[in-house]
């Protein structure tokens, strides 16, 4: 349950808000961290301040190598808003929460992030321990009645504690900010997540497309004496059934980037059957509809006149008016 809650929160934090991604730090050169004189805080205070800070003040709180990598990325990735938004959520969770319509509050040793339609997420800071120029701040992460452990690690740079790494719980464990490959590794993971989301979204839409054809053919069968109709008759039924009234069974022909829709009609009824049923001369006794993907990472789908709606184990030739037996 807790993992699911974190996934919901992380999705909300890393989604590009309607007005676009949260702004990158106003100093794109990401230059120097604030002077020690203006930030004479202990490790726990600095960790809380980073977690609750907006982009302008969150990014400079990272260790030098991290903020320099982030600044370089923001200078060159101006045409990648989704990727920028998600990297910004790693650097500044509070900025992304606020950009997405959420609120971030600090009370005592607790930072609370509340997003619309998602569980409240609380970070309870449990003190600090320091060894030389490194500090470790443990924390408890709560969502509802569930909890998990996390931590924030800091490094002392020019007399100021800077954020070196953060473990904010399940689904929010990113590469260390002080790693030379922090941005490349994080971008790779974000890109993979974006690709997975795109695949899941397209697959859901493709399945919905075959389901819509299945429902439309069922409606056409009822209005056509028990026989089915070609795909184009479903969107313009009066061209095939002059006496038809009401909304078309299918609003529009299925079309989806990444997929090729294919309708395979079966054999036509005999003239005598058509006459007895008072059915359209364009009637068919069976059919199959395929949504075939352009790439192997997308699943193919099929529906047919037996009422089946299924996912194909592998791309199949769309030549017969029935889904393959391997369709599940």
Span 256-288, pLDDT tens digits: 999 999 999 999 999 999 999 999 999 999 999
Quote the pLDDT of residue 19.
52
Quote the pLDDT of residue 226.
96
| DSSP reduced 3-state for 278 | coil
Residue 258 structure tokens: 């990444």
3-state secondary structure 210-236: HHHHHHHHHHHHHHCCCCECCHHHHHC
CB 138 within 8 A of CB 127: yes
Quote the pLDDT of residue 316.
66
Quote the pLDDT of residue 18.
45
Phi, psi for 25 (deg, rounded to 5): -50, 140
Quote the pLDDT of residue 37.
39
- Give the residue from 136, 140, 133, 192 showing the smallest Cα distance to 169: 140
**What number of other Cβ atoms are within 10 A of residue 112's Cβ?**
16
CA dihedral over 93, 97, 98, 103, signed as positive or negative: negative
User: Residues in the chain with pLDDT < 70?
Assistant: 1-40, 315-316
Name residue 143's beta-bridge partners.
Answer: 146
H helices present in the chain, as ranges? 2-14, 43-52, 55-58, 64-76, 81-91, 93-99, 182-223, 231-235, 271-277
Quote the pLDDT of residue 22.
54
Span 70-81, pLDDT tens digits: 999 988 888 888
Quote the pLDDT of residue 67.
92
Rounded CA separation 271/239 (Å):
19
Quote the pLDDT of residue 77.
84
CB 70 within 8 A of CB 183: yes
Compute the C-alpha angle 114/95/143, nearest 5°: 25
Q: pTM of this prediction? A: 0.70
């Amino acid at each position: 349950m807790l993992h699911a809650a974190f996934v919901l929160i992380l999705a909300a934090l890393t989604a590009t808000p309607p007005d676009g991604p949260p702004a990158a730090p106003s100093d794109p050169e990401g230059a120097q961290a604030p002077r020690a004189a203006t930030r004479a805080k202990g490790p726990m205070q600095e960790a809380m301040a980073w977690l609750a800070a907006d982009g302008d003040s969150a990014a400079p709180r990272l260790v030098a190598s991290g903020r320099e990598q982030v600044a370089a990325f923001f200078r060159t990735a101006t045409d990648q808003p989704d990727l920028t938004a998600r990297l910004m959520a790693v650097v500044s969770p509070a900025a992304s929460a606020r950009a997405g319509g959420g609120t971030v509050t600090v009370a005592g040793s607790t930072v609370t992030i509340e997003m619309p339609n998602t569980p409240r997420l609380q970070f309870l800071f449990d003190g600090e321990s320091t060894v030389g120029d490194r500090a470790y701040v443990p924390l408890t992460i709560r969502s509802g009645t569930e909890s998990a452990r996390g931590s924030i690690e800091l490094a002392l740079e020019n007399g100021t504690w800077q954020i070196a790494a953060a473990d904010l719980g399940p689904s929010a464990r990113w590469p260390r900010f002080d790693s030379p490959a922090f941005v490349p590794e994080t971008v790779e993971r974000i890109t993979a997540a974006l690709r997975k989301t795109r695949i899941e979204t397209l697959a859901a839409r493709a399945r919905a497309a075959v389901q819509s054809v299945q429902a439309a053919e069922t409606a056409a069968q009822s209005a056509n004496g028990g026989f089915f109709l070609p795909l184009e008759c479903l969107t313009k039924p009066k061209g095939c059934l002059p006496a038809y009234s009401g909304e078309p069974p299918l609003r529009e022909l299925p079309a989806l980037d990444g997929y090729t829709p294919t309708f395979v009609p079966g054999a036509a009824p005999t003239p005598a059957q058509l006459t007895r049923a008072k059915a359209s001369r364009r009637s068919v006794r069976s059919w199959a509809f395929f949504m075939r993907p352009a790439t192997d990472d997308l699943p193919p789908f099929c529906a047919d006149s037996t009422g089946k709606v299924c996912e194909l184990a592998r791309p199949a030739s769309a030549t017969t008016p029935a889904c393959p037996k391997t369709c599940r």
